Amino acid sequence: MLAEWRKQLTVIKSELQSAELKLETLEGAEVSLAEASQSYLKSFFQRRGLYLAQAILVVMGILLLSRLSYKVMLKLLPGYRVEHRSFRIRLLDLMHRIITVVLAIMGPMVVFYVAEDWVLFSLGILLLLGIGLTLRHALPRYWQQIQLFLNVGSVREGERIYLNGLPWKVRQINIFSLLENPTAELIQRVRIDELVDLKSHPIKQGDPWFPCLRGDWVLLSDGMRGKVTGISQELVELIERGGARKTYQTADFFSLSPLNLSRNFRLKETIGITYNLQEDSVDSIPEILKAFIERRVTDEGYGDQLHNLRVEFEKANTSSLDLVVIADFDGTLAELYGRLRRAMQRWCVEACTEFGWEIPFTQLTLHQVEAAG
């Protein structure tokens, strides 16, 4: 029995030595996760880096050839250089872009197939399938963008659209389209995707683009009067006489219905006379007042800028007979708008003083009712 147990002990010790040797081998070969990942990536790129580099070079070559062919078409086809291109030129440009994209996608796949690297080839197919599934729901919108690119969609070049609170002229439709507001001297570049939900219409002569130009004087409904010094898509800046500046958001500026004084403007001032002049208040007094104001306008140097002057009987008021003075001035006097209003009141008072016309004041008459009986 002792001999048998000694034999078993020898076998067990041998197995133990073998297990310890294997353990030492495993511990010597053990590396960290970072080292293992680095080793795997190094092995991956050593084996497939050449194929990836070839695929990248193929894509760069396709893009370079596409660019060169586009320049050749620009030189050989005059229609490419005109502002509004024809449908055929647009279709040719679209086909050129589509072929470029298809070749840029298929080029790396061909490289992987020829090199028989089925791992990269399979990854490429999976990537294309993922892109296809993602774009499946966006195809109708891309079809609308293609129609816009061909200038047969809801928005067309040379027509007028309304975007972000401003009217725009569609100057050019491309992947990035150019919009222009000719009056405000604004140019905006937008992606073609932003035009999909819009509709344009032909431009008619006299269509307004912006209430004013830079340098115009405007009067707003909030009482603000100033010279327009800056116009942008977001803000409009005005400067008052005296130098104070005020800035409005463009949408708020539009909502205040700006009155442009720099073209021409009209002033209407009212003066009242007493009822004892009733007999002459309709005919002779308006004529005399008109002649007096015309003389005073000329004396103060505004005669060349006065286009029209009328003095008319306006109404019989509670305590006065009101006359209205209507004067149309040239827009070059827009800066003096307030001064001219005060001057017209002054000229009316001077005329009343010179001709002895009494200016009444508001009166209140009380009537006492006696008790019955």
Q: Could you write out the DSSP letters of every residue in 67-103?
A: HHHHHHHHHH-GGGSSSS--HHHHHHHHHHHHHHHHH
Helices (H) and strands (E) in the chain, counts: 8, 12
What pLDDT, on a 0 to 100 scale, did the predictor assign at position 42? Answer: 66
What pLDDT, on a 0 to 100 scale, did the predictor assign at position 39? Answer: 64
Q: Alpha helices, DSSP H only, in the chain?
A: 2-29, 33-76, 87-114, 118-135, 139-149, 250-255, 284-299, 337-355
Per CATH, is 264-355 categorized as 3.30.300.330?
A: yes
What pLDDT, on a 0 to 100 scale, did the predictor assign at position 298? Answer: 92
Q: How far apart are CA 353 and CA 312, in angstroms?
A: 19
Closest Cα to residue 256, out of 244, 247, 265, 267? 247
What pLDDT, on a 0 to 100 scale, did the predictor assign at position 92? Answer: 82
Structure tokens at 246: 């005020």
What pLDDT, on a 0 to 100 scale, did the predictor assign at position 118? Answer: 77
Structure tokens at 107: 């080029």
What pLDDT, on a 0 to 100 scale, did the predictor assign at position 83? Answer: 67
What pLDDT, on a 0 to 100 scale, did the predictor assign at position 146? Answer: 85
Q: How far apart are CA 304 and CA 335, in angstroms?
A: 16
Q: Could you say which residues of the chain have pLDDT below 70?
A: 28-47, 82-83, 362-373
Q: How far apart are CA 119 and CA 40, in angstroms?
A: 15
Q: Where are the domains of the chain?
A: 43-148, 154-210, 217-260, 264-355
162 - beta bridge partners? Answer: 167
